[in-house]
Amino acid sequence: MQALTVDNLTKSFGQTVALDDLSFEVKTGEVFGFLGPNGAGKSTTINVVLDFVRPTAGSVTVLGMDAQRHSRDIRKRTGVLPEGVETYDRLTARQHLEFAIDSKNADDSPEALLERVGLEDDIDRKAGGYSKGMAQRLMLAMALVGDPELLILDEPSTGLDPNGAREMREIVREENERGATVFFSSHVMGQVEAVCDRVGILRDGEMVAVDSVEGLRDSVESGTTLRVTVDRIDDDALQAVRSLRDVTDVTVEERNPPTIVATVEGSKTAVLSALEDRGIEIEDFETTEASLEDVFQSYTTGSTTGVHAR
Ligand SMILES: Nc1ncnc2c1ncn2[C@@H]1O[C@H](COP(=O)(O)OP(=O)(O)OP(=O)(O)O)[C@@H](O)[C@H]1O
């Protein structure tokens, strides 16, 4: 069974088409990263999933239930960290947790949950005095109440310092090991790379790619960067490299000795051979894989399109 199925979902706000015939699935037990630049439609998708926003067309199924007809049942089995902090200034962290535990008929210990998010020392302080990151931690603790089958985290690392972001990743991993499916949105690539089984990239309300991090890396044109240090370089050799198929963005770092930097889609040996054939001596070479940042950029600003399912 799928934990979440989004079927041909369209949402318009007046003239703005926030989601455009969006379809994708999150499998039970996986950590799915939902990526996209500002305004791509991530929060709108999550808001439809949680029935905070009604779709213009299409449907969403959560844990086998229709998102609109069974939103109450879905919420009981789902932990949500919404976008933006929504704490009650006059209530303490403990009171927030007690409220969440009551409303889910759960039996968690507020202390244990607050300890997991690093708020144990502030348990009886009013949330109105919390920093942004502390409030975010509190919201996360509330999302964990009742061991939810599905965790939906909207930009969970917002406001967190590097330690907080790392702890967040650990919690995601622990929850997943316990058996929870995790669906989280982010535009922080590092978060996604470290914990996700699969990643979906949203652009202008459409999913432009769904794949594992590795698969996405393999799929982008801005493949591998090859750096070749040579004894010398001339126009003829440079031209030979530039004219190779699968080679783009050839530049020369004029150092002593010079280094040729090229983006290579296919065989790297073709570049090395082209140079050697013209009497250039190769002193050293190294390759660097596209970072997830490059992948994201390629899918969200470049011309790369097409859905890759895996
Ligand atoms: N209530 C609303 N009324 C009008 N337009 C809206 C509303 N909510 C979202 N939009 C529009 O829908 C589009 C998608 O917004 P959404 O908030 O879903 O993006 P996002 O991917 O979550 O962005 P961010 O990373 O900035 O949070 C944007 O063009 C936004 O202006």
Do residues 6 and 73 share a domain?
A: yes
Are 203 and 299 in contact, with CB atoms under 8 Å apart?
yes
Do residues 152 and 28 share a domain?
A: yes
Q: Which residue from 269, 268, 267, 251 is spatially nearest to 259, judged by alpha carbons?
A: 251
pLDDT of 165 reads: 85
Return the residue matching tokens 């244990």.
112
Which residues are paired to 25 by β-bridges? 5
Structural domain ending residue among the three candidates 164, 194, 218: 218
Q: How far is the CA of 239 from the centre of ligand 1 (A)?
A: 46
Q: How far is the CA of 280 from the centre of ligand 1 (A)?
A: 54
Token pair, residue 123, equals 């348990």
Number of domains present in the structure of the chain: 2
Q: Which residue from 112, 108, 97, 116 is spatially nearest to 167, judged by alpha carbons?
A: 116
Residue nearest to atom 4 of ligand 1 (CA): 13
User: Helix, strand, or coil here: 305?
Assistant: coil
**Inside any domain, residue 175:** yes
Q: How far is the CA of 143 from the centre of ligand 1 (A)?
A: 23
Cα–Cα distance for residue pair 213/195, rounded to 1 Å: 10
Q: Which residues of the chain have pLDDT under 50?
A: 304-310
Do residues 199 and 266 share a domain?
A: no
User: Residues for the chain: how many in total?
Assistant: 310
Which residues are paired to 199 by β-bridges? 33, 211
Nearest-atom number in ligand 1 for the CA of 36 is: 21
ipTM over 0.85: yes
Structural domain ending residue among the three candidates 218, 238, 264: 218
Cα–Cα distance for residue pair 149/14, rounded to 1 Å: 35
Residue nearest to atom 26 of ligand 1 (CA): 38
Residue nearest to atom 3 of ligand 1 (CA): 13
Nearest-atom number in ligand 1 for the CA of 46 is: 18
Q: Which residue from 269, 257, 196 is spatially nearest to 229, judged by alpha carbons?
A: 257
Do residues 37 and 157 share a domain?
A: yes
Which residues line the pocket of ligand 1, CB cutoff 6 A?
13, 16, 18, 36, 38-44, 187
Are 138 and 87 in contact, with CB atoms under 8 Å apart?
yes
Q: How far is the CA of 16 from the centre of ligand 1 (A)?
A: 9
Using most ligand atoms within 8 A of CB, pick from 13, 19, 47, 48 the residue to mutate for ligand 1.
Answer: 13
Which residues are paired to 62 by β-bridges? 4, 65
Query: 180: which DSSP letter?
Result: -
- CATH number for the domain spanning 233: value is 3.30.70.100
Nearest-atom number in ligand 1 for the CA of 202 is: 21
27-82: per-residue pLDDT in tens?
999 999 999 888 999 999 999 999 999 999 999 999 999 999 999 999 999 999 98
**Inside any domain, residue 181:** yes
**Inside any domain, residue 303:** no
Using most ligand atoms within 8 A of CB, pick from 11, 12, 42, 155 the residue to mutate for ligand 1.
Answer: 42
Nearest-atom number in ligand 1 for the CA of 47 is: 18
Do residues 36 and 156 share a domain?
A: yes
Nearest-atom number in ligand 1 for the CA of 205 is: 14
Nearest-atom number in ligand 1 for the CA of 45 is: 18
Do residues 189 and 247 share a domain?
A: no
pLDDT of 42 reads: 94
Cα–Cα distance for residue pair 216/223, rounded to 1 Å: 10
**Inside any domain, residue 99:** no
Residue nearest to atom 13 of ligand 1 (CA): 18
Do residues 158 and 283 share a domain?
A: no
Structural domain ending residue among the three candidates 191, 218, 245: 218
- CATH number for the domain spanning 51: value is 3.40.50.300
Q: How far is the CA of 71 from the centre of ligand 1 (A)?
A: 22
pLDDT of 298 reads: 77
Q: Which residue from 158, 156, 159 is spatially nearest to 170, judged by alpha carbons?
A: 156
Do residues 154 and 284 share a domain?
A: no
**Inside any domain, residue 114:** no
pLDDT of 231 reads: 94
* Beta sheet of 247-253, edge-to-edge order: 247-253, 259-264, 224-230, 282-288
**Inside any domain, residue 105:** no
Do residues 186 and 232 share a domain?
A: no
Do residues 155 and 72 share a domain?
A: yes
Are 50 and 75 in contact, with CB atoms under 8 Å apart?
yes
Provide the residue range defining the domain that includes 56: 2-77+148-218
Do residues 152 and 200 share a domain?
A: yes
Do residues 154 and 266 share a domain?
A: no
How far CA 7 is from CA of 19, 59, 125, 158, in Å, comes to 11, 5, 44, 28
Cα–Cα distance for residue pair 260/195, rounded to 1 Å: 35
pLDDT of 278 reads: 94
Task: Give the pTM.
Answer: 0.78
Cα–Cα distance for residue pair 246/90, rounded to 1 Å: 61
pLDDT of 307 reads: 39
Cα–Cα distance for residue pair 77/138, rounded to 1 Å: 19
User: Helix, strand, or coil here: 212?
Assistant: coil
